[in-house]
Amino acid sequence: MKLVPVFSSTKLSDVYLVKSMLESANLHVEIFDENISRIAPHHVYGTNGPRLMVPEDQAADAKEIIKEFKENQ
């Protein structure tokens, strides 16, 4: 299963919120670089923060949900 990035944020709370939204839609979600803000907080902005990764075949559905999230912010 190939995972592709669909969302990243320097705000960990946004990452967890979007992850929850994707999981509610029965999508498989993994967080990459989740601990970077705890281990080396000065590197968060250089990496764009933690990334949400989903299987390639679920990316389109995930992006639609993320689009709604961004529109409502």
The ranges assigned to domains in the chain are: 3-71
Asked if residue 36 has pLDDT above 80, the reply is no
pLDDT recorded at residue 60: 98
Report the topology of domain 3-71: Alpha-Beta Plaits (3.30.70)
pLDDT recorded at residue 43: 58
pLDDT recorded at residue 41: 61
First to last CA, the chain: 31
pLDDT in tens, 15-29: 999 999 999 999 999
> Which of 60, 40, 69, 49 lies closest to 8 in space, CA to CA?
49
Grade residue 42 by pLDDT with cuts at 50, 70 and 90.
low
Residue 25 near residue 41, CB atoms below 8 Å: no
